[in-house]
Amino acid sequence: MATNWGSLLQNEQQLEELARQAVDRALAEGVLLRTSQEPSSSEVVSYAPFTLFPSLVPSALLEQAYAVQMDFNLLVDAVSQNAAFLEQTLSSTIKQDDFTARLFDIHKQVLKEGIAQTVFLGLNRSDYMFQRSTDGSPALKQIEINTISASFGGLASRTPAVHRHVLSVLSKTKEAGKILSNNPSKGLALGIAKAWELYGSTNALVLLIAQEKERNIFDQRAIENELLARDGQEIAVVYFRDGYMPRQYSLQNWEARLLLERSCAAKCPDIATQLAGTKKVQQELSRPGMLEMLLPGQPEAVARLRATFAGLYSLDMGEEGDQAIAKALAAPSRFVLKPQREGGGNNLYGEEMVQALKQLKDSEERASYILMEKIEPEPFENCLLRPGSPAQVVQCISELGIFGVYVRQEKTLVMNKHVGHLLRTKAIEHADGGVAAGVAVLDNPYPV
């Protein structure tokens, strides 16, 4: 992708001055993170890393990503309600992956006891990269969908003002006007409020489950601040910003998760929806016929969804898995090996992937992974700003996320919408990792 910031990125002195202005504006707008030295304290905070300029994104791909979001909401909701599909899809994986198995045990137990909750709330974020193609027109390809603790909707609501400011300082008023407004935190809060309303108890609370050491607190506060504080004890909605990684669970936490799952509060997500967000489910959804089975009578939605799927391959024991492994070993740079993990930094690429595949080849353990085609976007230049580092002009690639919200009461879908976007940009030398992992930085799409 060509950038029209080309000459601006060459002028070092101007960049430094612009960076100072941008950082001050980011701080003033509340684009904040707690520091890694003091992750539990708001006494000393800094700005969340971001790009000096917005990155160019083709309007057609932005529109496509927005247009398919309601379909993804429907799909996740359909998967979460299809116990047979979840059981079959995850059967090999749960034998090898303890974390997924524990989640699945809770799912089975509440199914057996009868699901107490009647209101279901989904707040997710579907992530994409722009695969370059030989004819020059990039294609939107999904990286994954996050069904638990999808973050940065709060900070993404604050970054457009920063990039508008940078462009205004450069007297680029017309360009500044092209930065899209974005307010995912408002939309996410409206979803929570709707689920709370349908729960139907005026004194009930919303419980936000957060990590003890949470650098990204201001992202959560942005959503909290959209909700009215109320008195009372009963919990109507449980919103997880925690609980997506094994290390976030002690034995006591597992018991608490089961307790919450048994309650009639609307969980965001409930266990089935968290399982619907696993990489194994993503891979099985790409099998021919699966989307048609889950979304019967909706061929247009199925076509929109399928158009965003990259190559996804099962590594279950058997011929299909053997062939996938052989393909990856023959061309390692074209694939990514993914375990059932969230939070960044878990995937294996290149030589590491080759070593892991050779080791896993003859072991049942390989069923806890999936193989994915590696998306190769066209790199472009931007300047990355991080606390403690000088402004750096580097070759970058971006990842676009769209936030989706849905609310279901029993069998009736009451809300289904998209509520905004997140663009994250990272230097090309990093294969993996998001903003929280210290790799990517916040950005805004500049539609072209």
Residues forming contacts to ligand ADP in the complex (CB under 6 A) are 127, 129, 143-144, 310, 336, 338, 341-344, 346-347, 372-375, 399, 432-434
If you write DSSP's letter for every residue of 273-284 in order, what string do you get? HHHHTSHHHHHH
- Sort strands 445-447 and 441-443 into parallel, antiparallel or unpaired: unpaired
Catalytic annotation, pick one of 194, 280, 304, 424: 424
CB of 272 to ligand ADP, least distance (A): 18
Residue number, 58 or 344, with CB nearest to ligand ADP:
344
Give Cβ neighbours of residue 244 (< 8 Å, ≥ 6 apart): 148, 149, 274, 342, 343
For this structure, is 41 an active site residue? no
Identify whether 146 is a catalytic site residue: yes
Between helix 69-80 and helix 299-307 the angle, nearest 10°, is 100
Smallest gap, in angstroms, from Cβ of residue 142 to ligand ADP? Answer: 9
Question: Min. distance of Cβ 190 from ligand ADP in angstroms?
Answer: 25
Binding positions for Mg(2+) are 144, 146, 342
- Concerning whether 338 is annotated as a catalytic residue, the answer is yes
Catalytic residue among 343, 376, 417, 433: 343
Nearer to ligand ADP, 206 or 336 (CB): 336
CB-nearer residue toward ligand ADP: 97 or 127: 127
Q: Given 338, 366, 382, 408, which residue is catalytic?
A: 338
Q: Judged by CB, which is closer to ligand ADP: 182, or 398?
A: 398
The pair of three-digit structure tokens given for residue 175, joined into one six-digit string: 């360009």
Tell me, rounded to whole angstroms, the distance of Cα 9 from its chain centroid: 29
Question: Residue 190, CB half-sphere, CA atoms under 13 Å: how many?
Answer: 16
Say whether 423 sits in a helix, a strand or coil.
Answer: strand
Residues forming beta bridges with residue 412, ordered by sequence position? 409
d(CA 247, CA 243): 9
Name the active-site residue from 151, 185, 368, 382. Answer: 151
Query: What's the min distance (Å) between Cβ of 338 and ligand ADP?
Result: 6
Among residues 144, 224, 365, 376, which one is catalytic? 144
Q: CB 251 → ligand ADP: shortest distance, Å?
A: 24
Concerning whether 386 is annotated as a catalytic residue, the answer is no
Q: Please, are residues 151 and 216 in contact by the beta-carbon 8 Å criterion?
A: yes
Q: Is 257 a catalytic residue?
A: no
Q: Between residues 152 and 199, which has the closer beta carbon with respect to ligand ADP?
A: 152
Instruction: Considering the candidates 342, 366, 398, 444, report the single residue annotated as catalytic.
Output: 342
Residues that constitute the known binding site for substrate: 125, 424
- Is 151 catalytic? The answer is yes
Q: Least separation, in Å, of the C-beta of 424 and ligand ADP?
A: 7
Residue least distant from ligand ADP (Cβ): 375
365 an active-site residue? Answer: no
Q: Could you tell me which residues are beta bridge partners of residue 120?
A: 408
Active-site residue flag, 411: no
Q: Which residues are annotated as a binding site for ATP?
A: 144, 279, 338-347, 349, 372-375, 399, 426, 432
Nearer to ligand ADP, 254 or 349 (CB): 349
Residues marked as binding?
125, 144, 146, 279, 338-347, 349, 372-375, 399, 424, 426, 432
Own/partner pairs, 376-381, CB within 8 angstroms, 24+ separation: 376/131, 376/132, 377/1, 377/129, 377/130, 377/131, 377/132, 377/138, 378/1, 378/130, 378/132, 378/138, 379/428, 380/1, 380/2, 380/3, 380/55, 380/56, 381/3, 381/5, 381/6, 381/9
72 contacts 305 by C-beta, under 8 angstroms:
yes
CB 107 within 8 A of CB 271: yes
- Does 306 participate in catalysis according to the annotation? no
Q: Which of 25, 34, 125, 280 is catalytic?
A: 125
Choose between 196 and 380: whose C-beta lies nearer to ligand ADP.
380
In the complex, the smallest distance separating the C-beta of residue 374 from ligand ADP, rounded to whole angstroms, is: 4
Q: How far apart are CA 396 and CA 238, in angstroms?
A: 37
* Residue listed under structure tokens 């052989």: 326
Q: Which two tokens stand for residue 417?
A: 């919408």
Spatial contact of 285 and 291, defined as CB atoms under 8 Å apart: yes
The residues carrying an active-site annotation are 125, 144, 146, 151, 279, 338, 342-343, 424
